[in-house]
Amino acid sequence: MFWLIVHSSLERQPGYPVSDTPPVIEIRSLHKSYGDLEVLKGVDITAHRGDVVSLIGSSGSGKSTLLRCANLLEDSQQGEIKFKNEPVTWRGTGLDRRPADAKQVLRIRTNLSMVFQQFNLWAHLTILQNVMEAPVTVLGQDKSEVEQKARAYLDKVGIIDKCDAYPAQLSGGQQQRAAIARALCMEPEALLFDEPTSALDPELEQEVIRVIKDLASEGRTMIIVTHDMNLAADVSDHVVFLHQGRIEEEGPPKALFGAPKSERLQQFLKPGNVA
């Protein structure tokens, strides 16, 4: 089995397993600012194939920003990002830093499929067309082959009967499962989930959680930003608690939730403090 290692500048715990396989995602000393507001203050992540990491923390702690920087949807001002040992090339410095190679950015994004909080489905396309769109238009894959894959992934997430429906005709949970099928149809190296259940009521939330648990059981590489501590505990190999742009504490879910060391994490995990 491969392992995911996510750490701050603190020393790695003795005996922590390390894989010799090149990481899917590797980030070193990542800094991200919006003008004078520094959101990420030097974060390191190394994610190997087949593991699941959950990012937890209060609103504004940098969780979603970290995920978007990893997928190059946001520009960072300092630090190194590697995808399968290939470093992102940059031009400019500081707030003017941008990726230098548009083709590289496209390749990385198509291999790190993102599932957003608000689904982001095309309202004018059927569910099947939504799932097929990126593999056909971005990757240039054969339409008939993509349709076969798309139907299989919609079946996998339990909404094959909604192929010909439009997003507005689906519940929130069904729309999110369609968004997951769309991400899977790109056959990415990793799935990135940004609060995938926070826009759903509890009953619909469980539909999506079941799908995420199934994906985790298959050994898919996933990074999940979540407010759901039960989900983080159930599916993760590693949990990271971010506080004010830094990694306050991280480790296996049993240790993090069962015996948190930092006072800030202890406070965060108290009943009623987690949204």
Residue 35 is assigned to a structural domain of this protein: yes
- pLDDT tens-digit map of 150-187: 999 999 999 999 999 999 999 999 999 999 999 999 99
- pLDDT tens-digit map of 114-163: 999 999 999 999 999 999 999 999 999 999 999 999 999 999 999 999 99
For residue 241, what is the DSSP state? E
Residue 234 is assigned to a structural domain of this protein: yes
Distance CA 84, CA 108 (A): 9
Residue 140 is assigned to a structural domain of this protein: no
For residue 94, what is the DSSP state? G
C-alpha pair distances (Å), 117 with each of 92, 205, 209, 266, 273:
31, 12, 13, 27, 21
* pLDDT band at residue 4 under the 50/70/90 scheme: very low
Strand order in the sheet with 222-225: 112-115, 190-194, 222-225, 52-56, 238-243, 246-251
Distance CA 114, CA 134 (A): 12
Q: At what angle do helices 143-156 and 172-185 cross, to 10 degrees?
A: 130
Q: Which range marks the domain in which residue 109 is found?
A: 5-117+197-268
- pLDDT tens-digit map of 224-249: 999 999 999 999 999 999 999 999 99
Q: Count the neighbouring beta carbons within 10 Å of the beta carbon of residue 60.
A: 14
Is the pLDDT at 113 greater than 80? The verdict is: yes
* pLDDT band at residue 274 under the 50/70/90 scheme: low
Burial-class residue 214 by CB neighbours within 10 Å (0-12, 13-18, 19+).
Answer: middle
- What b-and-e string marks burial along 149-164, b requiring 16 or more CB atoms within 10 Å of the CB? bbbebbebbbbbebbe
Q: How many residues does the chain have?
A: 275
**pLDDT, position 9:** 30
Residue 160 is assigned to a structural domain of this protein: no
Is the pLDDT at 77 greater than 60? The verdict is: yes
In terms of Cα–Cα distance, which of 86, 84, 87 is closest to 76?
Answer: 87
Average of per-residue pLDDT across 15-40: 82
- pLDDT tens-digit map of 89-110: 999 999 999 999 999 999 999 9
Is the pLDDT at 15 greater than 60? The verdict is: no
Is the pLDDT at 42 greater than 60? The verdict is: yes
Residue 187 is assigned to a structural domain of this protein: no
In terms of Cα–Cα distance, which of 264, 259, 209, 161 is closest to 54?
Answer: 209
Residue 177 is assigned to a structural domain of this protein: no
The whole-model pTM stands at 0.88
* pLDDT band at residue 8 under the 50/70/90 scheme: very low
User: How remote is the C-alpha of 14 from its chain's centroid?
Assistant: 27
- pLDDT tens-digit map of 246-272: 999 999 999 999 999 999 999 999 876
**pLDDT, position 273:** 64
Average of per-residue pLDDT across 54-67: 95
Residue 175 is assigned to a structural domain of this protein: no
The alpha-helical segments, DSSP class H, found in the chain are 63-70, 102-111, 127-137, 143-156, 172-185, 202-217, 229-235, 253-258, 263-268
Residue 238 is assigned to a structural domain of this protein: yes
Distance CA 117, CA 84 (A): 26
Those residues whose C-beta lies under 8 Å from the C-beta of residue 162, and which sit 6 or more positions away, are 127, 154, 169, 170, 174, 178
The domain total for the chain is: 1
- Asked if 154 and 163 touch (Cβ cutoff 8 Å), the reply is yes
Query: Domain with 112 in it: what CATH number?
Result: 3.40.50.300
Sign of the CA dihedral with 34 first, then 37, 42, and 45 last: negative
